[in-house]
Chain A
């Protein structure tokens, strides 16, 4: 149980275009989801926290107009990278709080974004 499905697993886009990444909780309701970014050989960096039905809370230094987060339902959160540039190429991972489990957090499988 407590599975988070993340799509797409990889995407290549042209510079200047926008890309949407979806994160779905399959068998539970996720009132809170988290979005991370990971550059090669680095740790996960928390970008933002999204709560269903309200605006996301962004970490310091993360551009909220560039990384649009929508959490309109209890099972879906999306991250849209707007006007993507090569420096946005990274591994993006979502996570959800699972209050019904013993461990509390589950992660998606990640999305490899390459901007060319």
Chain B
């Protein structure tokens, strides 16, 4: 299973862009990169996912390197409510029937006023 590596924590000033890196050097060709976040004592919230192309939605942008060994989640204008643990996950596939999300340690993003 492909593993991910993320910094333990990051700070970001309110209103500035938050760039959260993730390494997934052992990712295989058919594995997607998912990003979720977890605000304290809540269930994880989906942010964005991608395979090889850069993706953008109303919450964030996902930049995946050409070799797919790393990616960056960009929150364009961070607010205090974006303070959370951000998880970068590579989706595993067992026998094609069940895809599990295995969480790593994540990055605690603290948005500072």
Contact = CB atoms under 8 A, between A and B. Distances in A.
A46 B1 CA distance: 14
Contacts of B42: 109-110
What interface size band does chain A fall in?
20 to 34
Interface stretch (B12-20, B76-84, B94-102): B94-102
A29 interface: no
B99 A104 contact: yes
A112 B43 contact: no
Nearest to B104: A43
Contacts, number: 50
A57 B50 CA distance: 28
A112 B44 contact: no
B49 interface: yes
B104 A95 contact: no
Contacts of A51: 98
Interface residues of B, number: 20
A32 interface: yes
A95 B101 contact: yes
B45 A97 contact: no
A89 interface: no
Contact of B105 (A43, A57, A93): A43
A107 interface: yes
Contacts of B44: 44, 93, 95, 107
Interface centre among B34, B43, B87, B105 (most CB of A within 10 A): B43
Nearest to A45: B103
B30 interface: no
Interface of B: 34, 36, 38, 41-46, 49, 87, 98-106
16 contacts: A43-B104, A44-B38, A45-B103, A51-B98, A91-B41, A93-B43, A95-B43, A97-B99, A103-B34, A104-B49, A106-B46, A107-B43, A107-B45, A108-B43, A110-B41, A110-B43
Given A44-B44, A44-B103, 6 more contacts: A34-B101, A46-B101, A49-B98, A91-B41, A103-B34, A107-B45
